Amino acid sequence: MDVPNSQGVPRSRVGLVSFQSLIIAVITAERDDYNPQTGFLFRYPVLEYGRYLEKIAPMGVAFAPELLMALTGLSGSQLKELLATFPPEDLDDGIQLSKELEEAGALTPYQAGHLSEGRGEGLLVGQYVVLSELGHGSMGMVYQVRHRIMGRQAALKVFTPDTDESENYNRFMREIQATAQLDHPNLIKAYEAGEHHGSYFLAMELVEGQNLQEKVEKEGPQSLKLTLRCFIEAANGLGYAHGLGMVHRDVKPGNIMLGSDERVRVLDLGLVKFTRGFSSMATSMDGTVRGTAAYMSPEQAISIRNADHRSDIYSLGSALYFVLTGQPMFPEKTVMQQLVAHQKKPAPSLLTYRPDLSPYIDQLYQLMVAKDPAQRLQSMAEVKSSLYSILNGTVPPTLRTASSVGLPVAPPIETKENVSAWKRLFPFWRDKPKD
């Protein structure tokens, strides 16, 4: 349906106004020459600037100058001054003019590209101005945006459903509901949600930094100290969500963000399961496999409905292995092979690839990824306190009973005071060689 704008002009007509027309609408204030068939204003050499909104609005293209000012963040007078600095011949060339505005810092490269192609209207979503694309996936696009009034930048996830009954629609609604309930420093914060021309959006905190997947791919396996600190904070955030009756169900390195402020946030609640407080409609799923196979618990691989908070503990342990070794627990080639491996194969030891690590971190990881949920650590609070103990060089209480689940009891952690000179020279060496 072609809904008219506030001036009675169909939105499709407004959306077809070219980039040149946007500028013309600003600089030909006293000209009434408007072609209602094409929606274009004819350019005249006289660059008059005055009551252009008063003149243009009755002709049905008031959105054109508003769009340009919204994207640049400039007022009408500021825009006029900027355009006056460009060569007059560039005002006839939409592509060149977009480059000029980009070089002047008035538009981002992403905005300039869209405007030069006549797709400027798509850069406004509600009160948000799109600055750049951050990523995309099955749930839609994620953009870096700026609020037109507040000036605050945010990450905007935009989803256009096929139908209101689709599984992806329900999934996006779950993410909106879940994120709205969360107020924790280690979880991404929601600002608002809404609908715009048939699409739904969720505005969230914009975090500058890298997720742990990107960090490992760029730098390789991470140090034990950094890894422990990141996973302590991730466990802290997930424990808070568990306390509200939420199960994440897609914990993985790509959903653990280390910000430039050195704070960790857990992202993406698209697969969240509500165990209380929400309607069954909001939490229903068809029971098929969903999640990321490389980090999925054995019970979730059978059916996503089986996953409880202990499934998140398994996934966090799998992510811990990846960050410390640079590879997944089971690097099988296919998704099905990975799912079977999580159910059947014993978890590999961290010490195989990282003999420099303390045996305690390996034992803790083994407790997190036990096949039987009853044999895992039972809460994120236990995970957090155990990681913190290892960070501080003490024995985690959870490991004092490790032998009860078939794990060997590790020797005392080697400190700088009791480690031999040989091991200080060769930290990867586990035992001093015989003479």
- Tokens 């490991």 belong to 399
Residue 57, classed as helix, strand or coil, is: helix
C-alpha closest to that of 88 among 53, 44, 52? 44
Residue 387, token pair as written in the block: 């990681």
**Could you write out the DSSP letters of every residue in 134-159?**
EEEETTEEEEEEEETTT--EEEEEEE
Distances (CA, A) of 230 to 186, 246, 361, 416: 10, 21, 14, 24
Strand partners, 192: 203
Distances (CA, A) of 126 to 3, 130, 195, 247: 16, 10, 8, 31
Instruction: Quote the strand ranges of 9-103, DSSP E.
Output: 34-35, 40-41
CA distance 25 to 347: 66
Is 90 a catalytic site residue?
no
What is the 8-class DSSP label of residue 392? T
Q: Which helix (H) or strand (E) holds 102?
A: helix 94-103
Distances (CA, A) of 388 to 243, 307, 367, 391: 20, 26, 15, 5
CA distance 216 to 117: 37
Cβ atoms 283, 327 nearer than 8 A: no
CA distance 297 to 371: 8
The one catalytic residue among 32, 250, 268, 431: 250
Residues in the chain, total: 435
**Could you write out the DSSP letters of every residue in 409-432?**
PPPPPP-TTTS-HHHHH-TT--SP
Sheet holding 264-266, edge to edge: 209-211, 256-259, 264-266
- Tokens 């600002």 belong to 191
Active site residues: 250
